[in-house]
Structure 1
Amino acid sequence: MSHYVFAPDAGVTLDVQGSEARFPVNRVFCLGRNYPWGDAQDAVRQAPMFFMKPATAVVQAQGELVYPPLTEEFCHEIELVVAIGTEGSDIPEACALEHVWGYAAGLDLTRRDLQMAAKAAGQPWEAAKAFDGSAPITAVVPVSLIGHPQQGAVWLQVNGVERQRSSLDAQIWSVAQIISRLSQSIRLRAGDLIMTGTPPGVGALQPGDVINAGIDGIGQLDVRVGARR
């Protein structure tokens, strides 16, 4: 029997649509620039760029979002979330979807001013992405219920005004390609989440703002931004 110096956390879990079971979250990988944004970088397909958030960044996408400290530019990014159910490394693209357990919609919340300052200084920008509550995610929908969606609107509104709209088939890298590429670098494990990038229209949030967002056929979220600490 193991003995711990203090009691370990129970772990982060997400709701599963249509079930009382919970999806246990392991690691959170995020992909940057996976939709055309209409600038010079879109002219040439860039290799996928991955970064991470801790599992503790994941919260259920409901109720009130905490406005994080140390920022004046707290931004939203609506994204497709891929929930991995079967581990693997060097996964061929042709069988990559076999490793997916389900899908969800999520927000990659960002302290944009910290990110821009870090980029300008040539420094890592982890602090811009990896803060508490920076990954609100809807219930995970099992593949057994919806298969592997290839199309569907991806959208976000703030206070009833649309800011982001695209579709899954506009992604530069498909889910299968993302899984295959990422698994060449690291062994994927059951419980890993992959946030697959956001369309253009990212903008700043203010306390009291109401966010309505989702991905058609996968999930929808309705949350409010809380007060600054």
Structure 2
Amino acid sequence: MTYLFNPQATVSLPIQGSTARFPVGRVFCLGRNYPWPEAAGPAPREPVFFMKPASNVVEAQGELPFPPQTDEFCHEIELVAAIAKGGVDIAPEQALEHVYGFAVGLDMTRRDRQRQAKSEGLPWEGAKVFEASAPMTAITPTSQLPWPLDASLWLQVNGQERQRAHLSTQTWPLAEVISRLSRQLPLLPGDLIMTGSPPGVAPLSPGDLIHAGIDGIGELHLRVGPRPAGQTANAA
């Protein structure tokens, strides 16, 4: 087979304790999967899924680029489930058999763009899809973890805690998330599922230091990079 041009390189993540890497296919994200204050509005009745392209996934290390066209570059700490066994219409009781392991991930968001799109009744992929919008740690295999996960996820900025929640407080537990997603379309090996973020999301500034993690799974350290050349605050 001859291609018109070279296909994009496969995006992958390291695996704890292995020289192999996890090839990333699709990235599914889940909104509002933790209790939020009433001011945030009513919780959705069903899980709300959206997607990021695999090209947005990067290893969480070093500098996190500040994206263009935003003045509200916000963090969202999340548990990421890595799928290694595909399936369709998966029963909740079998859902966890499809999970290879877990990572710590950030669903980075251009909040001002999201807010504007919502107010106009428009899709808000532009708020979620941009370069390096999904930094993640290495994947820890389930074989190295106890189950159920008795863990909290947390995020600090410049040493000040902004987000913390126990995984048990998720509105839809992981098994239910996998089951419901697999009713909408077949899950495939290489899929990643970002399982939602607790309250405390907030904007970041250039130079901010992010320290985030999930007990027993991993931690990440990132520094927010400078604004793009020619862009100043309030210039989104």
TM-score with structure 1 setting the length = 0.97
How does 1:96-107 map onto structure 2 within 5 Å? 96-107=95-106
* Superimposed CA distance per residue, residues 158-210 of structure 1 (whole angstroms, 9 cap, x where no aligned partner): 00000001111111111100000000001000000000000000000000000
How does 1:32-111 map onto structure 2 within 5 Å? 32-39=31-38, 46-111=45-110
Instruction: Please name the residue that 1:18 is paired with.
Output: 17
Deviation at 1:61, TM superposition (A): 0.6
Instruction: Please name the residue that 1:159 is paired with.
Output: 158
Instruction: Please name the residue that 1:126 is paired with.
Output: 125
Kept in 1, the 8 Å contact 2:32–2:44? The answer is no
Provide the C-alpha distance between the structure 2 equivalents of 1:104 and 1:64, rounded to a whole number of angstroms: 19
Amino acid at match of 2:167: L
Deviation at 1:150, TM superposition (A): 2.6
Kept in 1, the 8 Å contact 2:32–2:43? The answer is no
Instruction: Please name the residue that 1:171 is paired with.
Output: 170
* Superimposed CA distance per residue, residues 123-160 of structure 1 (whole angstroms, 9 cap, x where no aligned partner): 00000001110000000011111144432111000000
Provide the C-alpha distance between the structure 2 equivalents of 1:42 and 1:9, rounded to a whole number of angstroms: 40
SS at match of 2:149: coil
* Superimposed CA distance per residue, residues 84-113 of structure 1 (whole angstroms, 9 cap, x where no aligned partner): 000000000110000001100100000000
Amino acid at match of 1:11: T
Instruction: Please name the residue that 2:186 is paired with.
Output: 187
The verdict on how the C-alpha distance between 1:204 and 1:40 changes in structure 2, with shifts beyond 3 A counting, is: closer
The verdict on how the C-alpha distance between 1:126 and 1:44 changes in structure 2, with shifts beyond 3 A counting, is: closer
The verdict on how the C-alpha distance between 1:134 and 1:45 changes in structure 2, with shifts beyond 3 A counting, is: closer
SS at match of 1:127: helix
Deviation at 1:41, TM superposition (A): 6.9
Provide the C-alpha distance between the structure 2 equivalents of 1:7 and 1:19, rounded to a whole number of angstroms: 29
Amino acid at match of 2:166: S
Q: Which moved more, 1:43-52 or 1:197-206?
A: 43-52
SS at match of 2:105: strand
Kept in 1, the 8 Å contact 2:76–2:106? The answer is yes
Kept in 1, the 8 Å contact 2:29–2:196? The answer is yes
TM-score with structure 2 setting the length = 0.94
Kept in 2, the 8 Å contact 1:36–1:42? The answer is no
SS at match of 1:117: helix
Kept in 1, the 8 Å contact 2:63–2:222? The answer is yes
- Listed as ranges, the gaps of 5+ residues in structure 1 are none
Q: Report sequence identity in percent.
A: 60
Deviation at 1:46, TM superposition (A): 2.0
Provide the C-alpha distance between the structure 2 equivalents of 1:156 and 1:44, rounded to a whole number of angstroms: 23
SS at match of 1:202: coil
Amino acid at match of 2:45: Q
Q: Which moved more, 1:15-24 or 1:45-54?
A: 45-54
